[in-house]
Amino acid sequence: MGRKFIVGGNWKMNGNKKGIDEILAFLAEGPLDPDVEVVIGCPSIYLDYVHSKLSPNCKNVAISAQNCYKVAKGAFTGEISPAMIKDIGAKWVILGHSERRNVFNESDELIAEKIGHSLEEGLHVIACIGELLEEREAGKTTDVVFRQMKAIAAKVKDWDKVVIAYEPVWAIGTGKTASPAQAQEVHAQLRSWLTDNVSKAVSDNMRIMYGGSVTAANCKELAKEKDIDGFLVGGASLKKEFVDIVNANK
Ligand SMILES: *[C@@H]1O[C@H](CO)[C@@H](O)[C@H](O)[C@H]1NC(C)=O
Ligand SMILES: *[C@@H]1O[C@H](CO)[C@@H](O)[C@H](O)[C@H]1NC(C)=O
């Protein structure tokens, strides 16, 4: 398989300059598996700080925003655009995270528009999808993630800069992790969806990250699954254990 393993750290709304210095220090110390693509998702106010402080040792670490708006500029108080993210030297944006969907009520349509615009601007996108606990318990997991994929696919012309993060919402920040088999099952279904609705080539090349209470203790088991191509890590990305998660395949 030619899919390069990718591990993202989503810091969410955490940290300050002192804490960020500590994170950048353990990333610089690593050692990080050079065959893994690492992406760190910083609060927007610190993107430039992180960009200026990232060690030259961290050649395989790129910087990501955690959200952006769907147009380049204008009267949208409080928002940031993909053009701004690129301007400070960051290359990625995380869109559609479950907290954007479920706390800030972003719709499938808005998320898809943000993804479409970010790609047009040349950013790489981590597109997040995932079902709520009640949706899983009602047997609706594939209905939900396929609906989310369909909205995204309507706005994506070129999938080269897209990675998908499957994050079952019931496993985010709860300490509950999907078992490797549960995660693999949905990852395989997503890959079939891509084969059926986009193309075999996109499906074969698409990296599908798993997110939801990934830790140093469970990452190796998850990484063994054939359709798990990386992780999107929340809380553990603020800790030195993130290095072990990056190195899950070693
Ligand atoms: C999102 O929707 C929920 C449920 O309708 C509501 O309670 C909440 O205030 C909304 N949040 C925002 C940020 O609009
Ligand atoms: C996409 O593929 C799945 C099966 O992999 C199918 O259920 C679905 O109807 C297809 N089309 C759309 C637009 O989702």
Please write the tens of the pLDDT for every residue from 69-111.
999 999 999 999 999 999 999 999 999 999 999 999 999 999 9
Q: Which two tokens stand for residue 95?
A: 């869109």
Q: Which residue type sits at 232?
A: L
The stretches in the chain having pLDDT less than 50 are none
Spatial distance between the Cα atoms of 40 and 94, rounded to a whole number of angstroms? 10
The residues lining ligand 2, judged by C-beta closer than 6 Å to any ligand atom, are 146, 150, 192-193, 196-197
| Among 37, 97, 99, 131, the one annotated catalytic | 97
Pocket of ligand 1 contains residue 105 by CB under 6 Å: yes
Alpha-carbon separation of residue 179 from 187, 212, 219 (angstroms): 12, 11, 11
Task: Write the DSSP string, 87-102.
Answer: HTT--EEEES-HHHHH
Looking at residue 177, its pLDDT comes to 79
Q: Which ligand is nearest to the CA of 151?
A: 2
167 is catalytic: yes
- pLDDT digits over 117-147, tens only? 999 999 999 999 999 999 999 999 999 999 9
**How many Å lie between the centroid of ligand 1 and the Cα of residue 106?**
10
Q: Whose CA is nearest to atom 10 of ligand 2?
A: 197
The finding on whether 104 has its CB within 6 A of some atom of ligand 1 is: yes
pLDDT at 1: 54
Asked if 187 is an active-site residue, the reply is no
Token representation of residue 112: 């898809």
Q: Is the CB of 102 under 6 A from ligand 1?
A: no
Choice among 99, 113, 135, 167 that is catalytic: 167
Which domains does the chain possess? 6-247 (3.20.20.70)
